[in-house]
Amino acid sequence: MLFINLICVYKFCHFKNTFKQIHRFECKAKINSCKVGLNFDKNLYQRKIYVLILYVLISIKMNFIVSLSLFFTLLALPHPVHISVTTVEFKGKEKKIDIMFKLFVDDFETIVSKKYQVELNVGKPNENPQCVQYFSRYINEQFNIMVNDNQIPAENFIFISKKINEGAIWLTYELPKIPKLKKIYIYNSLMNDMFDDQTNLLILKVGDTENGYSLTKKKRDIEVEF
């Protein structure tokens, strides 16, 4: 995967004009901030630049998974962005939908702890034994799916696994008894109640088709027909 990332970086570096535009964008922002007597928020523009980089990767029609892999490689240092990745995959032979959420564990733990007044201590020896229940509760409040115009109730989300790696948490769920998929509606407002600039990336897999979407506080849902 590292080799693939290096290839992607090599290809991406040919987009010199894009990087020049990013540089001019940041310089202009600094100048404008000084003119009106405001402090330049470097982290805010870093977040916007990282998202712009991801959009360019997708726009040049690189594989979406490879793009995300490269994107998170760029975020190996303490993360300056507010972003999540959700994969929704319909498996026709198994008649189910798999859903996998990836979020920054510190942000996710903070919002859940504040919302429900509970200490989770994720990944620590004294981790709250009910942390998954609290995570699932929050997800069910902020993430909804309709399949073939039928709302999927919260109790149908079957928890499969939790994994923590390099500052991110992976939560996997399963929706059983989905024989056919003609239409799907997805609402995702994860972390929008904590960050105004939160971007929730969505990967939708159906058969051999794989599409990516970017959801924000202003645009929180998608609907796709097959």
Residues 43, 45, 49, 52, CA torsion sign: positive
- Can you say how many angstroms the Cα of residue 33 is from the centroid of all Cα atoms in its chain? 30
> What's the pLDDT band for 58 if we cut at 50, 70, 90?
very low
**14-44 tens-digit pLDDT:** 333 444 444 444 444 434 433 334 343 445 4
Identify whether the C-beta of residue 22 lies closer than 8 Å to the C-beta of residue 13: no
**84-97 tens-digit pLDDT:** 999 999 999 999 99
Q: What are the start-end ranges of the H helices in 85-223?
A: 105-116, 131-142
Query: What is the average per-residue pLDDT within 112-129?
Result: 93
Give the burial string for 100-126 (b: 16+ CB within 10 Å, else e): bbbbbbebbbebbbeeeeeebebeeee
Q: Over 70: is that where the pLDDT of 102 sits?
A: yes
Residues 58, 212: Cα–Cα separation, whole Å: 8
Comparing 16-25, 75-84, 165-174, the range with the smallest average pLDDT is: 16-25
Q: Over 80: is that where the pLDDT of 45 sits?
A: no
State the amino acid at position 22 in one-letter form.
Answer: I
Helix, strand, coil share of the chain (percent; to 5): 40, 30, 30
Residue 47's nearest CA partner among 189, 191, 144, 188 is 191
Residues 64, 52, 71, 84, CA torsion sign: negative
The whole-chain average pLDDT of the chain stands at: 77
Q: Over 60: is that where the pLDDT of 199 sits?
A: yes
> What's the pLDDT band for 4 if we cut at 50, 70, 90?
very low
State the amino acid at position 69 in one-letter form.
Answer: S
